[in-house]
Amino acid sequence: NDKAEIRQSEPYVVGQTTYSTFSPRAGNTRVSWLSGAATWNYYSITQYILGIRPQYEGMMIDPCIPHEWDGYKIQRVFRGKTLSIQVKNPEHVCCGVAEVTLNGKKIDGITVPASELGEKNEIVVVLGKNGKRDDHSERL
């Protein structure tokens, strides 16, 4: 980060304000972490890149990741239940869910039904070239 001394904040932070070129402190970013950007970044990354989206019926898993990724693991709590989610990308695609298993049992579609969740859950999602997508969601 060649601007660290100017910005005076972490390189990954979106500051609330940045001084303009007319200021003697031009480029200085102030009031870091008070912007709503952190929340929106978290929301966008978890729900639309990692594809972990809570729904009324259950937890939808519809990733849209860089094709270079082999996959990822994530853990979260949903309605008091622990979900350990592993996404595998053996064909190195960006999106398309080929298979979802919940505690070793294959499920239909890309939404894990809330009614089938136990206290602790292992969910494995395999991406593939002929995989399913959520055709009704709003895309960012």
Fold designation for 62-127: Maltose phosphorylase, domain 3 (2.60.420)
pLDDT of residue 64: 95
pTM here is 0.76
DSSP annotation of 9 reads: S
CA distances from 45 to 3, 25, 53, 118 (A): 25, 32, 11, 26
Q: In this predicted model, what pLDDT tens digit does every residue of 29-67 receive, in sequence order?
A: 877 777 777 788 889 999 999 999 999 999 999 999 999
Pairing of β 120-127 and β 81-88 = parallel
Domain coordinates in residue numbering, the chain = 62-127
Q: Is-contact 112 100, C-beta < 8 A? A: yes
Q: Which residues make Cβ contacts (< 8 Å) with residue 44, sequence separation at least 6?
A: 140
Instruction: Determine if residue 19 is left, alpha or beta; phi over 0 gives left, psi from -120 to 50 gives alpha, anything else beta.
Output: beta
> Which residues in the chain land under pLDDT 50?
137-140
